[in-house]
């Protein structure tokens, strides 16, 4: 009874969100980017002053889309935010859902680094089963609710071994080594929102592709296994030419 009274009093006093709301500590994920684009808005991860990593389906239309950096609450103008137009989007090829779900987004001008806007490191190794990671994005943590939330959300998930993922998938989902699964029953296992960002030990290890945990908490969600794409990411960054005809290597590890 005393605990319930405390909860009510904290709510009335406008206290910080309770843990079950899964709101990130403001600006604790300075690499998180909100891509306001066409055909839809998505999450992304800043990896250097010019480039954002997101999922294949989230590649925005250049010069009619923009990225919001340094954000915590959408719909609220924050002194920390940087709004930068998107000049290009390069999707990984060959793509066959759900394989190779990855896109690189180029900013029209470089991001300005500060405590609220900072890139995340690419992985130096692949994540291991049982490793604890944090997934963040402007999605919902309520099952079967897909709308974007105003405040950045964070959930804590364990990496799940490949065989467990394969055993849980239905026949219409084909396993591929380019995937990594995270989340399981009795953990924070639901964060909707396209391309939510998975960070493990300070490194970018995935962007969400299928949020299975939001439909069934016993199922892990699927992320692009970014440790396998480091060479491709660096090739794009090193060889970028601002033209729609530029071609990049389809698959290198």
162 or 120, greater pLDDT: 120
pLDDT mean across residues, the chain: 85
Is residue 219 one of the residues assigned to a domain?
Answer: yes
d(CA 165, CA 163) in angstroms, rounded, equals 5
Q: Are residues 98 and 141 in the same domain?
A: no
- Range 2-30 average pLDDT: 57
* Same domain membership, residue 234 and residue 216: no
Asked whether residue 160 is domain-assigned, the answer is yes
Lowest mean pLDDT among 21-30, 52-61, 146-155, 191-200: 146-155
Which H or E element spans position 9? helix 2-12
Q: What is the C-alpha separation between 74 and 24, in angstroms, rounded?
A: 13
* Shared domain check, 101 and 38: yes
- Distance from C-alpha of 49 to C-alpha of 37, rounded to nearest angstrom: 19
Asked whether 105 and 86 are in contact (CB, 8 A), the reply is yes
Spell out the residues 6+ positions from residue 107 whose beta carbon is closer than 8 angstroms to its own.
49, 50, 51, 52, 67, 84, 85, 86, 87
In a domain, 45, yes or no: yes
In a domain, 252, yes or no: no
pLDDT at 1 exceeding the cut of 50: no
The predicted model scores a pTM of 0.86
Residue 104: name the closest of 60, 63, 159 by CA.
60
Overall domain count for the chain:
2
Residue 202, domain extent: 132-227
Residues 162 and 101 in one domain: no
Mark whether 63 and 142 lie in a shared domain: no
Amino acid 173: pLDDT: 67
193-214 confidence digits (pLDDT tens): 899 999 999 999 999 988 888 8
Q: Are 68 and 34 in contact (CB under 8 A)?
A: yes
Specify the pLDDT at position 176.
Answer: 82
Tell me: do 173 and 195 sit in the same domain.
yes
Domain shared by 138 and 69, yes or no: no
Task: Summarize pLDDT for 20-36 with one digit per residue, the tens.
Answer: 479 999 999 999 999 99
Q: At 128, phi and psi to the nearest 5?
A: -110, 145
Looking at residue 189, what is its pLDDT? 84
């Amino acid at each position: 009874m005393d605990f319930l009274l405390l909860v009510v009093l904290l709510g009335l006093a406008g206290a910080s969100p309770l843990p079950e709301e899964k709101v990130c500590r403001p600006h604790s994920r300075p690499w998180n980017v909100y891509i306001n684009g066409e055909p839809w808005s998505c999450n992304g991860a800043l990896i250097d002053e010019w480039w954002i990593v997101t999922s294949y389906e989230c590649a925005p239309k250049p010069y009619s889309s923009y990225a919001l950096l340094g954000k915590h609450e959408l719909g609220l103008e924050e002194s920390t935010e940087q709004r930068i137009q998107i000049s290009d989007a390069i999707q990984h090829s060959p793509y066959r859902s759900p394989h190779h779900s990855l896109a690189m987004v180029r900013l029209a001008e470089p991001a300005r680094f500060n405590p609220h806007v900072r890139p995340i490191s690419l992985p130096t190794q692949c994540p291991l089963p049982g490793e604890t990671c944090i997934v963040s994005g402007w999605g919902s943590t309520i099952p079967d609710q897909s709308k974007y939330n105003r405040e950045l959300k964070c959930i804590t998930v364990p990496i799940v071994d490949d065989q467990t993922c394969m055993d849980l998938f239905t026949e219409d989902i084909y396993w591929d080594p380019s995937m990594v699964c995270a989340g399981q029953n009795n953990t924070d296992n639901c964060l909707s929102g396209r391309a939510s960002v998975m960070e493990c030990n300070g490194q970018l290890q995935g962007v969400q592709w299928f949020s299975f945990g939001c439909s069934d908490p016993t199922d892990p969600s699927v992320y692009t296994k970014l440790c396998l794409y480091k060479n491709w990411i660096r090739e794009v960054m090193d060889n970028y030419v601002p033209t729609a005809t530029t071609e990049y290597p389809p698959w290198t590890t």
